[in-house]
Amino acid sequence: MLIPKNIRLKSVYLIPLSFLIAILIGTLLLSLPVSSAEGKWTSFTDALFSATTSMCVTGLVVKETFRYWSLFGQVVILILIQIGGIGVLTAIATMMLITRKHFTLSDRLMLRDALNLDSISGLLGFLTRIICGTLAIEAVGAVLYMFAFVPRYGPARGIWVSVFNAVSAFCNAGMDILGPDSLMSYHQNPLVLIVTMMLIVSGGLGYVVWMDIRLKITTGHKRRYSPWQICRRFSEHTKLVLSLTGLFLFLGTVIIFFAEYNNPQTLGGMSFPYKLLNSLFESVTLRTAGFASFSQSGLTDVSCLSSYLLMFIGGSPIGTAGGVKTTTFYLAVINVASYITSNKKTYAFRRSVSAEQMKKAAVIIEVSLATVLFLLFLLLATNPVNITDGMFEIVSACGTVGLTRDLTPTLNTAGKLIVTTGMYLGRIGPISMACFLAAPPKDEPAGHYAEGDFYIG
């Protein structure tokens, strides 16, 4: 069972607690001498940071993954990334499926909340498709990576690097064991960059979206529908996610391309095709992936400001990406537009959006923004960093992105703990808030206060 019989916790508590327990177990394992390449103990702060960044699929590191950790340590990190990507309770439920354990009603309700779904109908079938789809996509990515990594590193290490990168990219973790500069040495390798982008986008779209796409394509093929007819039959959620993903990737690519075109520290020395490819890659990786094909410390102020927004928004719901999510940001924006235009109803793809969904989106945006600003204040107060680098670090942590302007390794103990907190809150925050807001409302008091006159704006 997911929950022992003598323990009864609501999802809003159990989901964050499950992540915390997994992080602490990972911290213990990574602190052991067997986990480091030199066979020495790792400090609690560094082990905690490394376990958190792996479990929260962020990618910020204080110890170089390829050099500091032994093979055992790298395997622990990869397992944490995989579990963190699909969710702790989802991973436990998968083991229960494999061992044919019985799911109680409370287990199903807990799993529904962990996946942020509306119903328990067909839940176990959905879970099975998630796991099979995840492993299939990661396997395809690993095979494609081997064409680049096996010739360079040899069969054994090339296969291991390919598997590690495929899992990390699909889970939007952004960690690698290639070297100290992420994918910078591959900025002119279309195979590596394109495969990485495909994996990042696949994980960031969300499980519900690719299940819907798969179902509609299969049905459409049987009924001989045209591609346009198949697309028209996608659910409103799928249409919204695909539209927003395409829009944000396009805008990010255009902004990065023009802002960095002549910047010698980023795109300046590349030919036109590679400038375009690396601009697209940067736009994709800012969606919570964390891989880098050029140094982030050289970005212009325009690119930094755009990066803050893209990292804060993140990917789409019910997937491996972080951030407040594309649909949440969209609902918050159209809520403002609806108020300005005095529309009583808000619509998206010919479907009305409930007031409860609008309220939930607004709360998630506000709480996430407040968290970013509070942690930024703490980081600036405890570390000698400028606000540009500090903001980049905190938004990257809270959005579980993993990109840094070379700040992470220089942080003191307080700074590492602040960023660790940001990564943890960024991973479980939106999930916990969604579960909390979806809980049944409390009974209204018998009496009511008179309506007050408050002046706003």
- Please tell me the predicted confidence (pLDDT) of residue 359: 86
- Please tell me the predicted confidence (pLDDT) of residue 433: 47
- Please tell me the predicted confidence (pLDDT) of residue 91: 64
In sequence order, what are the residues at sequence separation of 6 or more whose Cβ sits closer than 8 angstroms to the Cβ of residue 121?
A: none
Q: Where are the beta strands (DSSP E) in 275-359?
A: 346-348, 351-353
- Please tell me the predicted confidence (pLDDT) of residue 105: 64
Stronger pLDDT, 104 or 340, i.e. the higher one? 340
- Please tell me the predicted confidence (pLDDT) of residue 329: 92
- DSSP per-residue letters across 373-426: HHHHHHHHHHS---HHHHHHHHHHHHTT----SS-GGG--HHHHHHHHHHHHHH
Q: What is the CA 409 to chain-centroid distance, rounded?
A: 22
One-letter amino acid of 367: V
Q: What is the pLDDT of residues 287-326, one digit of tens each?
A: 888 899 999 999 999 999 999 999 999 988 877 788 899 9
Stronger pLDDT, 450 or 223, i.e. the higher one? 223
Which token pair is 103?
């799911």
Q: What is the pLDDT of residues 235-253, one digit of tens each?
A: 888 999 999 999 999 999 9
Domain limits of the chain?
A: 11-437
- Please tell me the predicted confidence (pLDDT) of residue 186: 95
- Please tell me the predicted confidence (pLDDT) of residue 16: 78
Stronger pLDDT, 80 or 353, i.e. the higher one? 80
Stronger pLDDT, 150 or 99, i.e. the higher one? 150
Interatomic CA distance for residues 210 and 215, integer angstroms = 8
pLDDT over threshold 60, residue 4: no
- Please tell me the predicted confidence (pLDDT) of residue 100: 60
pLDDT over threshold 80, residue 408: yes
Residue range 337-360: mean pLDDT, rounded: 81
Stronger pLDDT, 420 or 11, i.e. the higher one? 420
- Please tell me the predicted confidence (pLDDT) of residue 128: 80
- Please tell me the predicted confidence (pLDDT) of residue 317: 83
Q: What is the pLDDT of residues 190-207, one digit of tens each?
A: 999 999 999 999 888 888
Nearest Cα neighbor of 206 from 175, 180, 235 is 235
pLDDT over threshold 50, residue 437: no
- Please tell me the predicted confidence (pLDDT) of residue 316: 86
Distances (CA, A) of 293 to 48, 181, 254, 377, 382: 27, 8, 17, 30, 30
Nearest-10 crossing angle of helices 190-205, 207-222: 90
In sequence order, what are the residues at sequence separation of 6 or more whose Cβ sits closer than 8 angstroms to the Cβ of residue 47?
A: 26, 27, 28, 30, 31
- Please tell me the predicted confidence (pLDDT) of residue 338: 84
- Please tell me the predicted confidence (pLDDT) of residue 145: 97
